[in-house]
Structure 1
Amino acid sequence: MQVPAHELLTRMARFRDRMDRDHPDWESAGITGKINLYYFTGTIQDGLLFIPRDGEAVFWVRRSFERATAESAFPDIRKMSSYRDAAAVTGKGNTGVYLELEEISLAQYARMQKHFAFSGTHSLDAQVLAVRAKKSPYELSRMERAGKIHRHVLEDCALDLLKEGIDELTLTADLYSVMVREGHQGHMRFGMFNEMLLGQIGFGTSSISPICVDTPGGVSGLHPSLPMSGSRERKLHRGDLVVIDIGCGVEGYYTDKTQSYMYGKAIPDEAIRAHERCVSIQDEISTLLKPGAIPSEIYTAVMGGLEPAFRENFMGYKENTVKFLGHGIGLQVDENPVIAKGFDEPLEEGMVFAVEPKKGIPGVGLVGIENTFVVTPQGGRSLTGTHRGLMPVGF
């Protein structure tokens, strides 16, 4: 399961190139976030990856050094008891140090500052995310496997789980069990400290309940302390729309997919037409996912082609709408770039997006679709299937 050494070397070289491009005067960088450490070293341990501009990078590990050396093909791994050990070798008074300012806590920064005595710090978050955005064949192979599991579970297996009277939380637990048996790693990772068991799973209007994260859908929640879970009280009944928006992971890499079902009878014709329109928008976006395309221009063109009446409750419900049409995905479900305003760098072959045009329908719930696409010269290629959604169950 070891990440190949050449993969790690290529990632580090790309990061250095990006830093040279964006910050020509950079002198050193430090990475401590677990996901970024895995990306660059192939292991998730408590440590510091120190990258001097004019020297070789060193992965200083506090715990567990033994596991790091067993798992990782990174060329220089050294043991430390604290940052003091690393500072004794790298030197104090480093200037122009770049850190993950989106990840590091003030307490951790203070501990680093105590030993390294940085005279200035800057953010490297954008540069790391830009490097992670373009997937290698090694990474795409993991996402391909995740996508196949995802498609099979949501298009083949989930139908047997939808039974009259089941509640949202029990369906989540049942679906989790199936996902893990089929190969899902059983763990979900998001940015900005968000947490979910699988994703958003809701019946009817639960799927448009307001929630605390930036997503077009919602979930009714188990309790105020667990707002991202399904409810024990919301039971499945004939005529319900069922929305399953979940991730699937293999060896750290995720795909994202939303599949919808009509239980017992069809939802209203108006809702079906809105769903079909969302599917056509997904198809339109997928054709535009080619190298050289600009995400912000895709967003502007697609949104500009929608009539005002359809834009109401598009990408959410009421005031809980979002200002994107898709997002990057990889080692976390929500990555850069985003199909939204402000993302103006051209797409590259190998980037991967979850495209999710959706619309809230009063009294019905969230219609629409989501699949994961890899950027190719021919347009987006779906990793998670091609089903159009609104699968009939129990008719």
Structure 2
Amino acid sequence: MNKVPSAELESRMKRFKTQMNVSNPEWEIAVIFSKINQYYFTGTMQDGMLLIPNEGDATFWVRRSFERATYESLFSQIKSMKSFRDAAKSIDKLPDTVYLETETVPLAVYGRFQKHFPFKDVKPVDTVVSAVRAVKSEYELQLMRKAGQIHQHVLEDIVPEMLVEGMSEADLAAELFKVMVDEGHQGITRFGMFDTEMVLGHIGFGESSIYPSYFDGASGNYGLSPAVPLLGSRERKLKKGDLVYVDIGCGVEGYNTDKTMTYMFGNSLPHYAIDIHNKCVEVQNEIAAMLKPGAIPSQIYNQIISSLDDDFLQNFMGFGDRKVKFLGHGIGLLIDELPVIAERFDNPIQKGMTFALEPKNGIKNIGMVGIENTFIVNSSGGESITGTNPGLIPIF
């Protein structure tokens, strides 16, 4: 078992408190309930809560499983509780305001917590946690590099050998899942987007990749059914001339990379479709060159969008009226993290941030062309850790 080093956990907590003192200088206590943030700060995820006082040490109160938490985590203060009542006894004087993850804590949990912690007001801690998590340590970057190597190898080297005429989207997805896990993928793809389920990602043949989707991304797919709009269709079979679109995540010890790779099966796509795809690759490379410390995400977004002609923009980042208004997103413990390459994201990019850049374009009767790779922000620009293959790999 690889445990998150204690020095890493201490650094994260120190950076969180420093950021809280800047953003909310009056804060006295913050409480973490979500398992992803628990893992970030303690190295384990359990049924419990992390109490973080401004002064003094944070305590991870665990209902289940305390035994597992102490086995997995090098966090300094882990205590057992049967209910919030036990943790409340440790607080001499509760402040009027408590900072919570308002994006993720359900009202029912909030009510049970407030019963034993009768604070008067609640303020969000989400933005501060996101800002701290956005800048990755070398420990985190090493895990993301491992995920990126798996991602590159599977999508660029293995998938071309998996594509067989007559296989269904679901067939490819099922086979791909096994291969990913065999290669080291953690088997789960996590999103912060509310009530979002995902298995691997979007896998589509031809027009399936531009099918409407509730997912806040450029592409879609048919899915297994209306009840399970995931994986891919059992009915849509691969045939010659198809564009194959694979947009999936890969994770190692919690940390994700995101990558999209496309393939031309049996025959080449029309020249105009290839031209549109190549333009998307150019856009990715232009954005990557701008990923330097001090750059402003909203300025990058506006500069790129203003440089594209109206014909290209018609189905850029989606298809028809189903377009998203971003060019890339932060990534780490979740696929969809902050910051985002979009309007209104005006804080400067920092070294060590990681972004998935995904310029794409939907084409009627063909599908979604384009590309996506995961980049680390360096002084010289974005470094791709998921490969540099431009996509549209020919399978003839």
Answer yes or no: same fold by TM over 0.5. Answer: yes
Unaligned 5+ segments in structure 1 are none
TM-aligned CA deviation for residue 93 of structure 1: 4.2
Residue of structure 1 in register with 2:346 after alignment: 344
Residue aligning to 2:326: 324
**Which of 271, 274, 288 is 2:273 aligned to?**
271
1:299 aligns with 2:301: yes
Instruction: Quote the Cα distance in structure 1 between the aligned partners of 2:203 and 2:169.
Output: 7
- 1:39-73 per-position Cα deviation (integer Å, ceiling 9, x unaligned): 00000111110011122111111111111111111
1:283 aligns with 2:293: no
Q: CA deviation at 1:95?
A: 1.5
Report the CA distance between 1:229 and its aligned residue: 2.6
CA drift of 1:106 comes to 0.4
2 CA distance for matches of 1:309 and 1:182?
41
CA distance in 2 between counterparts of 1:71 and 1:91 reads 30
SS in 2 for 1:154: helix
1:334 and 2:336 correspond: yes
CA deviation map 1:166-214 (0-9, x unaligned): 0001100000111111111111111123111100000000000010011
5+ residue gaps, structure 2, are none
SS of 2:378's equivalent in the other structure is coil
Task: Please say if residues 8 and 41 of structure 1, whose CA atoms lie closer than 8 Å, have aligned partners that are also in contact.
Answer: yes
User: 2:116: which partner in 1?
Assistant: 115
Q: 1:288-311 CA distances to partner (integer Å, 9 max, x unpaired)?
A: 000000001100100010111110
**TM-score (norm: length of structure 1):** 0.99
Q: Does 1:138 align with 2:136?
A: no
Q: Percent identity?
A: 57
Alpha-carbon distance in structure 2 between the residues aligned to 1:109 and 1:204: 45
For residue 175 of structure 1, what is the aligned residue in structure 2? Answer: 176
User: C-alpha separation between the residues in 1 aligned to 2:133 and 2:195?
Assistant: 19
Amino acid at match of 1:127: V
- CA offset digits 1:357-393 (Å, max 9, x no partner): 0000011000000000000001000000000000001
Query: In structure 1, what is the Cα distance between the partners aligned to 2:93 and 2:11?
Result: 29
1:50 to 2:59 alignment:
no
3-state secondary structure, aligned to 2:249: strand
Q: Which residue of 2 aligns with 1:211?
A: 213
2:384 alignment partner in structure 1: 382
Alignment length, in residue pairs?
394
Q: Aligned partners of 2:348 and 2:329: how far apart in 1? A: 14
Q: Which amino acid aligns with 2:213?
A: I
Provide the TM-score with structure 2 as the length reference: 0.99
State how far apart, in whole Å, the 1-side matches of 2:297 and 2:258 are: 19
Structure 2 counterpart SS, 1:138: helix
| 1:37 aligned residue | 38
- Structure 2 match to 1:239: 241
Match of 2:60 in 1: 59
Q: CA deviation at 1:92?
A: 5.8
What's the counterpart of residue 104 of structure 2?
103
> Offset at 1:27?
1.1
Deviation of 1:87 (Å): 0.5
Report if the CA contact (8 A) 1:92-1:116 is conserved: no
**Aligned equivalent of 2:261:** 259
Local SS of the residue matching 2:44: coil
Work out whether residues 91 and 116 of structure 1, in 8 Å CA contact, stay in contact via their aligned partners in 2: no
Which stretch has the larger CA shift, 236-245 or 69-78? 69-78
Q: Is the contact between residue 92 and residue 117 of structure 1 (CA under 8 Å) also seen in structure 2?
A: no
Residue 94 of structure 1, CA deviation: 2.7
Quick one: distance in 1 between partners of 2:157 and 2:361? 25
Q: Does the 8 Å contact 1:92/1:115 carry over to 2?
A: no
Paired with 1:368 and 1:187, the residues of 2 have a C-alpha distance of 24
Is residue 31–residue 37 contact of structure 1 (8 Å, CA) maintained in 2? Answer: yes
SS at match of 1:89: coil
